[in-house]
């Protein structure tokens, strides 16, 4: 699957529009919804915020909730992306010892750090239902999305916890 530039540009403009109208967790939830509905190969999209040495799920959109709402940075693909401060693409989760299983349908994963300067403040986590669902065009696109999410991730960290 790919995200060609002709689809990336309008999608980035839509993300900008969402972020101009919503803030914090509400903005993150709407961006997750938009990405999941706009790109068929993004069936589950989540945004985690880094809180100390733990990734905390602030928003997601997909067919079901994950049990992994708090992930220590020393575990999983999400932890690896945060520790190494780099995008991680896993072509086949069944071949990855780092993978923390969430859904039986998940076959691949991409995790993109959200950085404030050079510091990781969160990440975008996307599960795919096909092996090799993500490529370099997804990485480039999602890294651009990640730069736009910094203010909302930081604001989500100052909001009251959900009831």
**pLDDT tens column, 82-133:** 999 999 999 987 776 676 667 667 789 999 999 999 999 999 999 999 999 9
Q: Which residues of 97-130 are buried (b: 16+ CB within 10 A; e: fewer)?
A: eebbebbeebbbbbbbbbbeeeebbbbbbbbbbe
d(CA 36, CA 43): 5
Q: What is the pLDDT of residues 40-71, one digit of tens each?
A: 999 999 999 999 999 999 999 999 888 889 99
For the cut 50, the answer to whether the pLDDT of residue 163 exceeds it is no
State residue 94's pLDDT score: 76
Q: What is the CATH number of domain 5-158?
A: 3.30.450.40
Higher pLDDT, 144 or 159: 144
């Amino acid at each position: 699957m790919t995200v060609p530039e002709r689809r990336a540009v309008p999608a980035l403009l839509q993300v900008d529009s969402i972020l101009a109208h919503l803030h914090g967790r509400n903005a993150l939830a709407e961006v997750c919804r938009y990405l999941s509905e706009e790109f068929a190969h993004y069936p589950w999209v989540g945004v985690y915020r880094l809180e100390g040495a733990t990734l905390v799920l602030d928003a997601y959109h997909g067919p079901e909730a994950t049990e992994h709402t708090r992930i220590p940075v020393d575990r999983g693909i999400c932890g690896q992306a945060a520790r190494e401060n780099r995008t991680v693409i896993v072509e086949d989760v069944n071949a990855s010892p780092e993978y923390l299983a969430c859904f039986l349908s998940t076959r691949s994963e991409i995790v993109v750090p959200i950085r404030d300067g050079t510091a990781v403040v969160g990440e975008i986590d996307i599960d795919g239902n096909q092996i090799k669902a993500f490529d370099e065009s997804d990485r480039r696109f999602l890294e651009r999305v990640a730069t736009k999410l910094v203010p909302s991730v930081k604001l989500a960290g100052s909001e009251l916890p959900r009831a």
